[in-house]
Structure 1
Amino acid sequence: MPPPLSVNPLLIAQLRNGSEQAFQSIYQQYHQAVYRFAYAFLKNDELSKEVTQEAFLSLWIHRQDLSETLPLYPYLFNKARRLTIDAFRRITSASRMQRELMTVQETLSNETEDTVLWKDLQQITADILKSLPKQQQMVFKLSRMEGLSYEEIAKELHISKNTVKYHLVCALKSIKSQLARYDVLYVAFIFYCSFVK
């Protein structure tokens, strides 16, 4: 993507000093270019918007590291590139997990002991979810059981998207560690959760 016009060094100085107005000006100038770059690779509107939002969130958080003498575009481009690669890897990983889930589903549907295993998994799931802090429980259920996006969960619980991501990451780490005690495959657990409403 060709770089937009360069940002006035004074605007960068104002951004470094915490000016939200300067940030908005920079956002207006660059956000379409960042979005188009992400969308060119991801072909997904929501993911491309997330990449754009996270790139600008990083710009705001690390604004004091910016140089008034260096162009802003390379910073945003590199951040958007890394975020796009991460999002692409998540898509690939999700596709691979989907294939694994189909294998688990076929196995479960073909064996007579499946009913017992399914009930066991149901109990294990309930026990693990109860052990999580309340906020992590809600975020996990809304994400993995209801299929809501980060933005939808944030609106539902009146918290930021970053807080949603934090709780989901903590929940998934805790779940994985607890599943080891039960000798249960993580993919089977997620497969079960996707059917619970």
Structure 2
Amino acid sequence: MKNESHIISRMISGDINAFKLLFDCYYPQVRFFTLGIVKDSFVADDIAQNVFIKVWTKRELIDCERKFNNYLYSITKNEIADYFRSLVISEPLDSISSLKDSDHTDEMIESVYDLSHIKNLVMKEVDNMPPQRRAVFVMSRLQGLSNDEIASKLGISKRTVERHLNMALHILREKLGGFLYWTAALFILSL
């Protein structure tokens, strides 16, 4: 975009027309990038709109020296992460509410989803993980260390830590399946 830094400066000063120019230029790119990850056009629209709402509401914090599309990418990445986090929280709640109609809900919850049973299932799967993946998972989910702290302790890159966590969670999701996985996820978060 020609004169981008000037347009950004105008937007930071509150010029809605400058914001509209940036929106018209970058919205399609943000939406396309988001759609490639979330695979749902309605969700992609919502996330892209949220990105530009944040751009406008936090415009005073924008660094004119930084490339604007890098700034947008950072916000977009965070919005997508927030969306996926909301799924982790809302899916178990949806599953729980669907159990209300069952005549045996109390018995099912007591027998199948007993906390010690869930802990044993999770720990059994964690014990079967390769040593480094297990260490990363335990440090992250059970000890509460950040990815940077784990990388430093294990002498690996932050990206490797993220990859191990993703693989560990994928294995748990695959092995535990459906509602039990989400119950286990909530259990792990409560430790």
Q: Structure 2-normalised TM-score?
A: 0.51
Match of 1:157 among 147, 151, 154: 154
Match of 1:194, as an amino acid? Answer: L
CA distance in 2, matches of 1:185, 1:80: 38
CA distance in 2, matches of 1:128, 1:171: 9
Matched, 1:90 2:93: no
Match of 2:181, as an amino acid? Answer: Y
Match of 2:83, as an amino acid? Answer: T
- 1:83 deviates by 3.8
CA distance in 2, matches of 1:153, 1:105: 34
Q: Structure 1-normalised TM-score?
A: 0.50
Kindly tell me: are residues 144 and 104 of structure 1, through their superposed partners in 2, closer, same or farther at Cα, counting changes over 3 Å?
A: farther
Matched, 1:78 2:81: no
Matched, 1:2 2:19: no
Match of 2:159, as an amino acid? Answer: N
CA distance in 1, matches of 2:91, 2:174: 20
Structure 2 unaligned blocks of 5 or more: 7-50, 58-65, 100-104
Kindly tell me: are residues 96 and 176 of structure 1, through their superposed partners in 2, closer, same or farther at Cα, counting changes over 3 Å?
A: closer
CA distance in 2, matches of 1:148, 1:102: 27
What does 1:148-187 align with in structure 2 at a 5 Å threshold? 148-180=145-177, 184-187=179-182
Q: Percent identity?
A: 23
Q: How many residues align?
A: 128
Match of 1:139 among 124, 133, 136: 136
- 1:102 deviates by 6.0
Structure 1 unaligned blocks of 5 or more: 4-36, 44-72
Q: Is the 1:139–1:164 Cα contact (8 Å) retained in structure 2? A: yes
What does residue 195 of structure 1 align with? Answer: 190
Aligned alpha-carbon RMSD (Å): 3.6
Match of 1:116 among 108, 111, 119: 111
Q: Is the 1:125–1:189 Cα contact (8 Å) retained in structure 2? A: yes
What does residue 25 of structure 2 align with? Answer: none
- 1:165 deviates by 1.0
Q: Is the 1:142–1:153 Cα contact (8 Å) retained in structure 2? A: yes
Structure 1 residues 155-185: Cα deviation after superposition (integer angstroms, max 9, x where no partner): 23232211111211221222222223xx653
